[in-house]
């Protein structure tokens, strides 16, 4: 049963928080890329992506996240993924995503880290 992808986002001080819901293999996931680009353009360079509600991520999702990483790298910002399932964590590691982004267990930890740094 494919659950349609959706997301909510909020800006908390210098940090953009994105919470996704549904499989990150839908083309709707391109929204993640759009929202990140928009905020990077506004000078918000610290981004936290909470993937708690997206336990299934396939290569479509990865390709979009790679795009986000590249854009943040270019802008000199920082990216954190939170609430990763063990499988997703392994995939992210294997694909080299975690060389450019930090993984946190909880969203609050990531936000706190970025707000104080």
Partner 1 sequence: MADERQAPDQSFQEQVLRYEYVLKALSDIGEELCRVTSFEAQLKSLLHLLLGTLGVSKGGIFLFDTMTSELSLRCSWKLSSRKAGTSLSRGEIEALEKIADPITFAAADFPFLKDLISQFAADDLNSISILKVREKLIGLLVVGQKLKRAPFSDKETSFLTTLSRNISVAINNFLLLSELRETNKRLDEKIQEVSILYQATQMIASELQLKTLLDMAMNATSEISEVTRGSIWLYDEESEKFALSSHLGDSANLPEHLPLADSKLGHHLLEHKEPLIKTTGGTSEIPVNELDSTIFGTSFIIVPIVHQGEFLGLMHLSEKITQGEFTERDQRLIKVFAVQLGAAVKNAKLYEQAITDGMTHLYLHRYFKQRLSDEFKRAVRFKRNLALIMIDIDHFKKLNDTYGHQSGDEVLKRVASIMRKAVRTHDLPVRYGGEEFALVLPETDMTGALAVAERIRRSIEFEIIEHNGKTIRITASFGVAVHPDSAIETEALIKAADVALYHSKESGRNRVTPAAVLPTTDNPPPPATPAD
Report the interface residues with partner 1, using CB under 8 A.
25, 27, 58-64, 66-67, 69-70, 73, 90-91, 94-97, 99-100
- Least separation in angstroms between residue 8's CB and partner 1 is 22
The secondary structure element, H or E, covering residue 105 is: none
Q: Which of 66, 103 has the CB closer to partner 1? A: 66
- Dist. CA 24–CA 30, nearest whole Å: 9
- Least separation in angstroms between residue 13's CB and partner 1 is 28
Of the candidates 1, 38, 40, 4, which has an alpha carbon nearest to the alpha carbon of residue 20? 4
């Amino acid at each position: 049963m494919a659950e349609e992808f959706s997301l909510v986002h909020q800006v908390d001080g210098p940090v953009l928080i994105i919470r996704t819901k549904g499989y990150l293999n839908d083309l709707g996931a391109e929204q993640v890329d759009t929202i990140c680009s928009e905020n990077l353009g506004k000078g918000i360079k610290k981004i936290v992506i909470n993937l708690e509600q997206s336990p299934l991520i396939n290569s479509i999702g990865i390709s979009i996240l790679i795009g986000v990483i590249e854009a943040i790298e270019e802008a000199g910002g920082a990216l954190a993924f939170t609430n990763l399932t063990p499988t997703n964590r392994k995939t992210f590691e294997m694909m080299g995503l975690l060389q450019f982004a930090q993984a946190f267990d909880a969203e609050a930890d990531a936000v706190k880290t970025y707000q104080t740094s």
